Amino acid sequence: MAKRVEGKHKRAQRNTNADGLAALHRDLVLRLGQWRGLKAEFDRVHRAGLSALRRKQFDRLSAAIHHEQRLIEKQNTLIQEARARLNSQKVIPGKF
């Protein structure tokens, strides 16, 4: 008869990457909300600009264009911040 070898039970190790992933997920959800808000505001301003163009209200059209440019700059800033944050955090796939 062969000796029965009992397997060693290892304690479950905490996945240290899980906290980083949770923080990353919270950050992405927050940024997604910001992006959606900026997109909705951009669409509203764009519709107002098109309406001003149809009515030949060029001063309002100019204001709408400048507002759209500021919104695009905000979106670009958010995108650059998100890229920098993702590049700074090394997410290593593992067991979850």
Q: What is the pLDDT of residues 36-95, one digit of tens each?
A: 999 999 999 999 999 999 999 999 999 999 999 999 999 999 889 888 877 776 655 555
Whether residue 89 contacts residue 26, with contact meaning beta carbons closer than 8 Å, is answered with no
CA atoms of 47 and 86, how far apart (whole Å): 34
pLDDT at 87: 79
